[in-house]
Amino acid sequence: MIDFELSKNDKKVLDALREESLIARKYARFYDENEHEFPPQQLPEAKDHPSFIRQMADRTAEDSGGSVMSTLIAMGSTWGDYSVRLRRQESGLGNSALKAAGTPEQIEKWGKLTLAMAITEPGCGSDPSQVRTTAVLDGDHWVINGEKIFVTTGCRAEGVVVWATLDRAAGRAGIKSFLIEKGTPGFIVAHKEKKLGIRADDTAAYVFEDCRIPRGNLLGGNEEIPKEGSGGFRGVMKTFNMTRPMVAALGLGMAEAALDFTRDKLREAGVEIAYDGHIITQPAAAARFIELEAEFEAAKLTMLRAAWLSDKGEPNNMEASVSKAKAGTAVRVITQGCIALLGPLGVSREHLLEKWFRDVRITDIYEGTGEIQRMIIARTLLDYTRDELN
């Protein structure tokens, strides 16, 4: 039986996180409009908020199920702002890949660094099997050549997990991941990307020009290219089974903020939402708002189920895709619907609603677009191979 009832300790953590998020929200507009500046690792107000809140969160995650509580903590954080935190977390997507596929020695060596993950290329977006960055073995070193774009946390990260191909003719099976530290000769941070939303979040472009790294930097250590299956590609793709529910959580936190803001403004305007009444008896604005709340609850439940399966150690490949696909659509519909309900208030830069609308758009794009998620879901439900349904 699935039970998402929160313990008293869970509630304390999330309540404390709300307080932190309200502080972070005060800085959201500044860093949105000054995207050349990075939000600090710690806001000035952090000195008045003891770090035991994060320790409580970590302990609660262990007690109540790491993935479920982690998604709720992520939601609580982005309810304030996507990019600004009272205290920033010292990890990136590459850390999840390291945890999923790294050797014990690699985890020990690289685990304390902030690692980005570089997959997307100028000619390769939604289908990572088309990676063109190459890795060639030369004695005791790999030589990496290629370009990567839209690398999340790419400027702040101390290192990166790079997807490259050992043999393009081998397709997905030839793709491996490599650990590369910033400062390695031939590793160039080309520029910081300018974006529609999450503008304060650093997203970088990388160039690798004859970048030589030790042979042991191959993630997982397996150099063999299998004749069947997808080897290292499949192993690192499992990372997304953990992170896609987290992506859903990040978008849902902003969508919840939009709903809370809209509910307050509707009530100020005299629009009462009667949750115990029939929807057809509600004013049109209230009825539409209830529909948006229903979208939110449905998306949140898919996210929690995917996280719960992960905590149980059960397969969640399809459920992770369902959670991200549902959330990617829901958060866009919710924030757009909130803007429509509030009219001029919704698009005014005096409020954060228009920013949330821009920021949530990323939910449906990174770590596999909504279209890709629906293909994964269809293949799983219909028991089709990649070649039969693409």
Cα–Cα distance measured from residue 219 to residue 70, given in angstroms and rounded to the nearest whole number: 25
- Residue recorded with tokens 């890949």: 97
Q: Are 24 and 43 in contact (CB under 8 A)?
A: yes
User: If you write DSSP's letter for every residue of 80-92 in order, what string do you get?
Assistant: T-SS--SB--S--
Residue numbers annotated as active site: 367
Neighbours of 60 (CB within 10 A): 23
- Residue recorded with tokens 């100020």: 268
**Which two structure tokens, joined as six digits, stand for 206?**
């990388």
Which ranges in 221-273 belong to alpha helices (H)? Answer: 231-237, 239-268
Kindly tell me the sign of the dihedral angle through the C-alpha atoms of 129, 134, 136, 140.
Answer: negative
CB within 8 A of 144, min separation 6: which ones? 133, 134, 135, 162, 164, 178, 180, 186, 208, 210, 211, 212, 213
User: If you write DSSP's letter for every residue of 20-76 in order, what string do you get?
Assistant: HHHHHHTTHHHHHH-TTSPPPSB-GGGGGS-THHHHHHHHHHHHH-HHHHHHHHHHH
Cα–Cα distance measured from residue 336 to residue 350, given in angstroms and rounded to the nearest whole number: 17
Identify the burial level of 192 via C-beta atoms within 10 angstroms of its C-beta, where 0-12 means exposed, 13-18 middle and 19 or more buried. Answer: middle
Residue type, 250: L
Cα–Cα distance measured from residue 21 to residue 30, given in angstroms and rounded to the nearest whole number: 15
Which residues are bridge partners to 117 per DSSP?
161
Q: What is the largest CA-CA distance in the chain?
A: 75
How far, in whole angstroms, is CA 291 from its chain's centroid? 26
Neighbours of 308 (CB within 10 A): 20
